[in-house]
Structure formats: C-alpha cells, structure tokens
Amino acid sequence: MAKSYYDVLGVDKNATQAEIKSAFRKLAKQYHPDVNKTPEAEAKFKEIGEAYATLGDEQKRKQYDQFGHEAYTQGAQGGFGGFGNGGFTSWTSAFDDDIDLGSIFSDLFGGGFGFRSNARRGNRPTKGEDLLVRVNIDFDDAVKGTKKEIKITMDDKCEECNGLGGFNEKTCSTCGGRGRVVKVQQSLFGTFQSETTCPDCAGSGKTFEKKCNKCRGTGHVSQNKTINIDVPAGVDTGTRLRISGKGPAGNNGGENGDIYIEFQVKEHPLFKRDGLDIYLNVPIDIKTAILGGEVEIPTIYENLIVEIKPGTQNEEKLRIKGKGMKDPNSSSKIGDMYIILKVIIPEKLDKNQKEIFSKLDKEDLQNNSEFKNFQKYL
C-alpha cells in the first residue's frame, strides 16, 4: 500500500491547513535537490509535492478524505477524472526536465531556490544508447570458445550529412542558440516560467538551410550491420561481452553507445554445469560396484578411464580435478568435474544369476553398521 499523503507530510488527519503548509515548507527545504545531495532526495521531493498539491487545497483534501488514497491517485472513481489535469498533474509535471523549479518556490520561500535541470544540456553532445543483443550458442561452443557472426539493426550516423542532420549550419533564430525556449504557465502555486526544448532545433541550438533528405534531419539512419565476435571459452547463460563504441550513434556529435552481447547456452543432455564445475551421472553395474573395476567416461574435453573401488555405494561422488569449465575472465582458472555413480540393479535375473545371489544371501551380508543401527529399533 502506498503511503497516505498525511503520512508523507508527517501530519495528523485533523491538521489545519496552516499546519499542512508548514510541514510542506519544512520538508521541501530539507529535500530540495539543490540542497540535499542524497540519491533519494529528488524522489522524496516529488512525493511531498504531490501530497501538498492535494492536501494544500481544501476542496481536493475533502475529496481525498472521502474516497481514499488509492481512488484519488488512480483517478478511477467517480468525480476524480477531472483532477488528472489539475493540481496533481501540474505538480508532477513540474519535475520534468522541461521545467524550471526555481519560480515554483518563489511564492512559498521568497526566492533563492534553483533547480539544475539536465534538459538544459540539450545542445551538448550525448553518448548513444547501449544495445543489448542475446545470442544462442551450443554447449560445446561454450566449452571450447568459438567465433560468431551477428546481424543487428540499429541507428547509425548518417554518412550523407556526417550525422549533423543538414547542410549549411546556422544558429537557431527561435532560441538564439540556447536550445531552450521560455514559456509562461499556470500552476497550483500561481504563474511561473518554464523552459522547454526548442521545437525548431530540438535542443541543438542549430538549424540548417537545407535538411538532409536521407536521415530527414535526425542525423541518424537505421542500418543493418554484421559484427564478428570471439566467444571466449567458458561463457555461461547470462555472461555478457561488451563491445565498446560500436552501438547506436550519439547526439550532437556524441560518441556511439556500446553493444552488450548476452549469451544463452543450450543445455547438454548429459553434462550439468554449476559455475565452473561439471557434473555427470555415470551408471555402473552391480558387479563393478561390488568387485571394483574400470569404466570409461566422457568429459567435456576427452574420454577418461576411471577406477571404481570395490564396495562402491550408489550415489557415491568422485572428483576429477581440472576437467570443468574454463573461466572466461581468467585463463589460469578452471573448474572440476564430479561424477555421480549410479549402481544399476538388474530387473530380471536368469537361473544362474539367481543361484549366485542366493549363495550371497547365506553369507552375513547384513553385518554393515547401517543395518545394525537400523535393527536396534526393530
């Protein structure tokens, strides 16, 4: 459940309007992003603003008290649809990058508060977005490493205009090269000025005598690209490989983003992976389990002969050092392989086999400590 607006401001439901305003002023000063540099300050600043936008208005407060927090914030119940474009939305919009918050608080605090909006950097070079590509590979390719050819579609710099978006560059006459224009708006707190991205230059501060026809003025074009990558030995599902500077184009001359290759490794029918270690179930017959012997097993690299000791028990685990997966981040690190021995009991016996087991039954086969501990309670 979301906090009620009263809890957000730290006031009682019977608080006077003056007490609500006082609580808001105190919290707004405490959490203003220009004063409070903690990571959660801006979110808290928005939260208290939303609360005051409702409780600070007597009519909205009555509606809020009548219908409850959930109904009010969702705008789902009768009578609240109109409030979506009222004080609540006008407050939250004040935190968009296009708004200058300094003027909002001038009435409450007598000026002196500013707000450094990231959107004022609209005409600065910005790095392109990062791109995530998921690639399926076989288990054997993950073991040994391989090469992959990947085809992707992404925004790249327009070669026709060199990513500028046009030709014969000039300063935007609408914003004077700032990339921002000032507007006057009405809010819950009265009239205030807001800054928005210039509609003519899209924040770059520049326009062109002729727009590029190939990219339609964006400076970017969608292109199909083929990238060749080396898949290191030992990658696992979820392993990511970063290709720096080969992603989508940046804005206003900014550098390209990065491409992240995320691997999805197909499961193997026999081998199970746990980190760098490999597990394998190995069936052995009852004769080998009792008398011992040798069995040939596969590993992820080659086949091996494993010695089985006499009296081997079902589910017994043997470790084979250094036969696990390689660490893709360290050439010297490698996991181990564990084999789980599965003693297979025959379901059908011929006459001779039955006679052999009948003879075994005459011996004291139940002299094992497991039998003795169990028989104490019989």
Which residues does 341 contact at the CB level (< 8 Å), separation at least 6? Answer: 282, 284, 289, 308, 312, 313, 314, 315, 316, 317, 318
The position carrying tokens 């050092």 is: 321
* pLDDT beyond 90 at 29: no
Cα torsion through 213, 219, 169, 211, rounded to 10: 20
Average pLDDT, the chain: 81
Q: How far out from the chain centre does Cα 218 lie?
A: 29
* pLDDT beyond 50 at 61: yes
- pLDDT given at position 362: 61
- Segment 184-192 shows an average pLDDT of 59
Overall pTM surpassing 0.85 (yes/no):
no
- Segment 12-30 shows an average pLDDT of 90
User: 218 near 211, Cβ under 8 Å?
Assistant: no
How many C-beta atoms surround the C-beta of residue 99 within 10 A? 22
CA distance 124 to 181: 16
- pLDDT given at position 279: 98
- Segment 99-104 shows an average pLDDT of 39
- pLDDT given at position 81: 33
Measuring CA to CA, which residue among 184, 204, 200, 201 is closest to residue 100?
184
- Segment 314-323 shows an average pLDDT of 96
Measuring CA to CA, which residue among 276, 247, 244, 241 is closest to residue 261?
241
The first and second tokens of residue 195, run together, are 């800054």
- pLDDT given at position 123: 56
* pLDDT beyond 50 at 100: no
- Segment 171-193 shows an average pLDDT of 74
- pLDDT given at position 353: 85
- Segment 35-56 shows an average pLDDT of 86
User: 265 near 137, Cβ under 8 Å?
Assistant: yes
User: 23 near 9, Cβ under 8 Å?
Assistant: yes
CA distance 206 to 189: 34
Secondary structure, 3-state, 130-198: CEEEEEEECHHHHHHCEEEEEEEEEEEECCCCCCCCEEEEEECCCCCCCCEEEEEEEECCEEEEEEEEC
Give residue-wise pLDDT tens across range 295-304: 999 999 999 9
Measuring CA to CA, which residue among 58, 46, 32 is closest to residue 3?
46
- pLDDT given at position 361: 64
Measuring CA to CA, which residue among 197, 280, 265, 200 is closest to residue 234?
265
- Segment 137-148 shows an average pLDDT of 96
Q: Which position has the higher pLDDT, 101 or 308?
A: 308
Angle at 140 between CA 138 and CA 141, to 5 degrees: 65
User: 259 near 242, Cβ under 8 Å?
Assistant: yes
* pLDDT beyond 90 at 144: yes
Confidence band (pLDDT; 50, 70, 90) for 180? Answer: confident
Q: Which position has the higher pLDDT, 10 or 1?
A: 10
Measuring CA to CA, which residue among 90, 87, 94 is closest to residue 117?
94
User: 326 near 239, Cβ under 8 Å?
Assistant: no
- pLDDT given at position 73: 55
The first and second tokens of residue 45, run together, are 């600043």
Which residues does 372 contact at the CB level (< 8 Å), separation at least 6? Answer: none
CA distance 154 to 122: 22
Confidence band (pLDDT; 50, 70, 90) for 188? Answer: low
* pLDDT beyond 60 at 245: yes
